[in-house]
Amino acid sequence: MTLKCTHQPAVPGLRDLREFEKALAGRRSKWGNLGQHFDRRQPIVVARAPGRLDCMGGIADYSGSLVCELPLAEAALVAVQKREDDRLIVHSANAASEGLAATVELSSAELRRRKRFKPYDALQRQLATDPSAAWAAYLVGAFPVLQTEGATAGFAGGANIAVASDVPLGAGVSSSAAIEVAAMRAVCGAYDIELEGLELARLCQLVENRLVGAPCGIMDQMTSALGANDSLLVILCQPHRVLANLQIPPGWKFFGINSKVKHAVGGSKYTDTRTAAFMGHKIVAAQMQRARVTPAEYVPLGDYLCNLSPREFGALYRDLLPTKMTGAEFLKRYGDTVDPITSPDPAKTYQVRTRTEHPIFENARVQQFIQDLGISYRTLSTVFAKDAGELMYGSHWSYGNRCGMGSPETDVIVKLVKERGGNLLGAKITGGGSGGTVAVLGLGNCEKDVEWVAKQYLKKTGVTPDVFVGSSPGAVQFGVAKYRLT
**Residues assigned a catalytic role:** 220
The answer to whether the CB of 388 falls within 8 A of the CB of 426 is yes
The amino acid occupying position 61 is D
**Helices within 250-351 (DSSP H only):** 268-291, 310-312, 327-334
Q: Please list, in sequence order, all residues whose beta carbon lies within 8 angstroms of the beta carbon of residue 17, skipping any fewer than 6 positions away.
A: 9, 46, 48, 77, 481
Characterize the bridge pairing of strands 3-7 and 424-429: unpaired
The answer to whether 454 and 260 are in contact (CB under 8 A) is: no
CA angle 473, 477, 482 (to 5 degrees): 110
Whether 430 contacts 436, CB under 8 Å:
yes
The answer to whether 403 touches 358, Cβ cutoff 8 Å, is yes
- CB 139, CB 170: distance < 8 Å: no
Name which of 248, 240, 210 is nearest 128 in CA terms.
Answer: 210
Q: How far from each other are the two terminal CA atoms of the chain, in whole angstroms?
A: 6
Residue 153 burial by Cβ neighbours in a 10 Å radius (0-12, 13-18, 19+)? exposed
408 vs 415: CA distance, rounded Å: 10
Give the torsion through C-alpha atoms of 342, 343, 344, 345, to 10 deg: -90
Q: Give the Å distances, CA to CA, from 92 to 105, 119, 406, 440.
A: 12, 26, 31, 31
